[in-house]
Amino acid sequence: MTELDRDEFTAGYLIEADEHVRSAIANLLTLEQALRSGSPQHRHIRELFRSLHTLKGLSAMVGVDPIVDIAHEMETILRDAERGSTKLTVEAVEVLLEGIRAIELRTSAFAQKQAIPVAPTHLLEALAALQTSQGSARTLATSAGADKDSLVLDAQLLAKLSPPELEQLMASIAAGKHAWRIDFHPSPERSAAGFTISTVRERLSEIGEIVKVLPLSVPRDANAPGGLVFALLVLSEAPPAQLASASGTDASKLTPIALSRAAVSSDASERGSYESDPDDLVQGNRGVIRVELSRLDDALDKLAALVVTRFKLANCVNELRDRGVDVRELTTIAGEVHRQLRDLRRAITRSRMVSVGELLERVPLIVRAMSRSTGKQVRLSVDAGKAELDKAVAERVFPAIVHLVRNAVDHAIETPEERVRLGKAPEGTITVTCFEHSDAQLELRISDDGRGIDAAAISRRAGREVPTDERGILELITMPGLSTLDVATSTSGRGMGMDIVRRIAVDMLGGDLTLQTTPGRGTTFTMRLPLSISILDSFSFVCGTQAFAVPVAIVDEIIDLTLEHVVVPPAPVARARAGHTRQLAARLLKRRGEVIPLFELASLLQLEAADPARCKAFIVRSHGQPFAFSIDRVLGQQEIVVRPIEDPLVRVRGVAGTTDLGDGRPTLVLDLVGLSSVASAGAMA
């Protein structure tokens, strides 16, 4: 194997390992909840075993023996639990989570080409102890006898079911649930109609629980041209017609599964629980490939160059038109290029998107660890829906999410004793929800039902006046270095919290951060973030004699500004800066029955003032409050490539970056939300 091959194999291993570690964490946390509530755990145990078994094999291939040792001990426990020879406990889940953390630490060391620590002795001993201390309780499916219930099911299928799967089916049917056998015959015609074993599994999973999928050999005929049928054993309360529609079959061919008084084979407990799984048969047909992010970044850079070229083409067409040249055909071609580039942009952007649910997978683990370290009882509720974010945005915003969640547990949620004294449930609740606010924005909310924010206490701590509204409270708690704790702990007290959240959400990503808090009832932080930060839809406009651009996502509305809209303006506020006086014209604008601040963007940027007779205004929101900026005129809406300003010496609040509108000159992309804060501070000084 060459060095290049080894590097590519290593990169593939790290991607696979990360996926299996994330899957294992999610299944362990769900398994813990199932154990506490007494719900079935079989599916989570199977998925957890599969992740660890694959991770062990991959780690052996790259020579990471400590991971092999840890994973082997963990899968032994899970195999015994799946076969029914042992029962998992909540305490066992804690040890398994420690094993996952140890595996994650070693994959990180391997990725950074550091020395890989050996498997911890205390962990291996704890895992070995679990294998002998859990007892040997057998499930009901492993006991033979004529006085036991059994399933009315084909003997060929019955022989392939593991004891926990038998127990799951029998217990569910005994509880009054409906169980079905659904046969799916793959064929080219069904595949063309969108029915493959993968799609059928996905559709049935949405309306029921799949206990087992078994591939069976059958004689070749018109109904089964491949000589193969998949038998799906499903628990569902959906009507037969809906199940048939989801599986692409006829409702009359669905077979109900019932119970009868008969003997169950006693050799079931001796069978392996992980025989050939249909997942392995269809894995290669799922249409998923892994692509390094650097390759997607390169594709995005090439697209950015094409966008700039399109600007230049549009400018050339306009110049030819001004000279009297017939450019109708060229205009048609340019329009087609524009549409194709938009389609290409959507395709590349979608390929870079990651699920927000995937981004939030580690949040339950954080809450769990914080809850144990603080002694507080905390329940986490996550609703990510189908929202997605660009990979670059997701990586930047995750630390902000972590800070907000940690602060909620550490500062907001009360101790169980305090909550009971206040008439609350002993267990606090943190809720994380998100949804796409528009085609270009995501709204992410993190709420708690804790004590709320004490504005007076924080003001005393900061040495400031008590704010009169939630916007003022947010400005206060996001002050750099502010902490409400006298002594730093392992989780808080170093003044590194909310300032980071504001810098990430507002300064780095050009989004918005708002706050709602009620003393004694709880707090909600809301972040509005762009779905992507590289290529954006924007409004280009002129202010004074200079062109600028602003992202469409942050503009609520564009209005024509006439003199009757402006309420009696106060005298301009003069401020001395850099040896000269700057006039900040802070006026008021009447809009739909409310009065909002109106700032002259030209004055703020020290440009020639706009002509009041032909002004327009952008309406934006900062911390939920509307602001207006007057400009000369809007040039149009177009895609732009935003180049961030990295040099801290020239980085200015209110400037998101630069772009090229096709004339070869850099054009500033303004952050009007940031400028509104600058303008407000200047007007009030």
- DSSP states of 456-488: HHHHHHHT-PPPSSHHHHHHHHTSTT--S-SS-
Q: How far apart are CA 460 and CA 465, in angstroms?
A: 8
CA-closest candidate to residue 573, choices 600, 594, 595 = 600
| Phi, then psi, of 38 in degrees rounded to 5 | 75, 20
Q: Where are the alpha helices (DSSP H) in 194-292?
A: 197-207, 240-247, 278-282
Residue 418: its pLDDT value, please? 92
Helix or strand (DSSP H, E) at 55: helix 42-62
Question: Quick one: pLDDT at residue 511?
Answer: 77
Q: Indicate the domain borders of the chain.
A: 3-133, 140-282, 293-354, 360-530, 535-684
Q: Radius of gyration of the chain from Cα atoms?
A: 31
Tokens read off for 3? 């060095």
DSSP state of 135: -
| Alpha-carbon span 550 to 636, nearest angstrom | 11
Helical H segments across 134-257, by residue range: 155-158, 163-174, 188-192, 197-207, 240-247
Domain 3-133, CATH: 1.20.120.160
Report the CATH fold assignment for 360-530. Answer: Heat Shock Protein 90 (3.30.565)
DSSP reduced 3-state for 449:
coil
* Cα–Cα distance for residue pair 363/451, rounded to 1 Å: 21
Q: Which structure tokens are listed for 674?
A: 């940031």
- DSSP assignment letter at 271: S
The Cα–Cα gap between 86 and 664 comes to: 71
- Which helix (H) or strand (E) element contains residue 77? helix 65-83
Taking a C-beta distance cutoff of 8 angstroms, is the pair 241, 249 a contact? no
Q: Architecture of domain 535-684 in CATH?
A: Beta Barrel (2.40)
What is the SS3 assignment for 630? Answer: strand
Q: What token pair was written down for 508?
A: 């780095």
SS3 state at 533: coil
Give the DSSP H or E segment for 341.
helix 328-352
β-strands 535-543, 633-641: how paired? antiparallel
What pLDDT does residue 88 have? 78
CB 550 within 8 A of CB 635: no
C-alpha 334: how far from chain center: 37
CA distance 21 to 48: 9
pLDDT at 189: 85
Query: Which residues of the chain have a pLDDT value below 70?
Result: 1-9, 40-41, 83-86, 132-151, 162-164, 260-290, 437-440, 481-497, 533, 567-586, 609-614, 623-624, 644-651, 662-664, 677-685
Q: Which residue, among 235, 107, 125, has the nearest Cα to 169 in the 3D structure?
A: 235
User: What pLDDT does residue 211 have?
Assistant: 82
For residues 439 and 436, what is the distance between their CA atoms, to the nearest angstrom? Answer: 7
How many C-beta atoms lie closer than 10 Å to residue 150's C-beta?
A: 17
User: Nearest to residue 429, comparing CAs of 415, 404, 403, 448?
Assistant: 448
> Phi/psi at 447 (nearest 5 deg)?
-120, 155
Can you tell me which residue has the tokens 């990295």? 646
Predicted local distance difference test score (pLDDT) of residue 577 = 37
> What angle is formed at CA 242 by the lines to CA 240 and CA 245, rounded to 5 degrees?
110
Residue type, 87: K
| pLDDT at res. 83 | 67
How far apart are the C-alpha atoms of 82 and 275, rounded to whole Å?
12
pLDDT computed for residue 594 by the predictor? 81
pLDDT for res 429: 93
Pairing of strands 512-518, 522-530: antiparallel
Token duo for residue 492 = 């808080």
Q: Residue 278 to residues 127, 216, 248, 285, 652: CA-CA distances in angstroms?
A: 30, 10, 18, 12, 57
**Distance between CA 170 and CA 166 in Å, rounded?**
6
d(CA 51, CA 71) in angstroms, rounded, equals: 9
- Residues contacting 107, CB < 8 A, separation 6+: 14, 17, 18, 21, 64, 67
Neighbours of 13 (CB within 10 A): 19
Q: For strands 378-383 and 428-436, give the pairing.
A: parallel
CB 554 within 8 A of CB 649: no
Q: Which residues pair with 256 in a beta bridge?
A: 180
- Specify the DSSP class assigned to residue 505: I
DSSP state of 649: T
> How far is Cα 451 from Cα 425, in angstroms, rounded to an integer?
13
pTM: 0.61
